[in-house]
Amino acid sequence: MTTHQGSGPAVSHQARSTTGRYTYRAKAPRPQTADHTDHATLAHALGAHRQLLSHATSAIRTLTAARNELIAQAIEDGLTIATVSAATGENMKAVRTIALAYDDLHPSGLPRTVHLPALKQKSDELRAAERHRARITERREALIVMALRNQVCDDLELASLTGLTADHIRRSTRGIARPA
């Protein structure tokens, strides 16, 4: 039954609410088709990768701060910039910049050789965390490509799910063949 109020057109999916205005009532459930299932699965996977990437980035920030403090303390305790550079894998200019950023440190009194194992370990942990983040990013990019090829999501929805911009999605998938 179609009802309408005033001079407005009749609307079949609406009914009168208690306030006298029309209320949208067309809330038909979406059928569980293969496309909807693919979309839900992909959305869940992209959300999980977004969270994993956030955790990996946070771990990298923490490890970088700890390593930088170790670098500055080692330089303050008398290790040369070249020795610290060799132990950490950073170039000498970066080591010098890091050491200069910590101007409030005092000599710890520890022997110089104590710093090298800690620097190597923290640098190895940082490189492992960066490799982990790169793997997560590669898997996210593969999911984006799969979504575009299978037409499960468009650029804007992918941007929303990944936390990237739609422009970044378009640029990074420029050469991907998309079905018409």
Q: State residue 32's pLDDT score.
A: 44
- Does residue 178 sit within a domain? no
- Would you say 42 and 153 are in contact if contact means Cβ atoms under 8 Å apart? yes
pLDDT for 105 equals 84
Structural domain includes residue 16: no
Which pair of tokens denotes residue 123? Answer: 């640098």
Three-state DSSP state, 58: helix
Residues of the chain short of pLDDT 50, as ranges, are: 1, 11-14, 28-33
By residue range, what is the domain housing residue 154?
33-166
Half-sphere exposure of 1 (CA within 13 A, CB side): 3
Residue 144 lies in a domain: yes
Domains held by the chain: number: 1
Would residue 18 count as lying in a domain? no
CB 178 within 8 A of CB 155: no
Residue 74 within a domain: yes
What's the alpha-carbon Rg for the chain, to the nearest Å?
Answer: 28
Give me 74's structure tokens.
Answer: 């080692």
Q: The whole model's pTM is what? A: 0.72
Residue 14 lies in a domain: no
Query: Is 28 among the domain residues?
Result: no
Position 24 scores a pLDDT of 57
Cβ 122 vs Cβ 63: under 8 Å:
yes
Q: Strand pairing partners for 3? A: 11
pLDDT at res. 12: 47
Question: Crossing angle of helices 34-76/81-88, nearest 10°?
Answer: 160
Let me know if residue 24 belongs to a domain: no
* Polymer length of the chain: 180
Are the C-beta atoms of residues 166 and 156 closer than 8 Å to each other?
yes
Closest CA to 117 of 94, 84, 166: 84
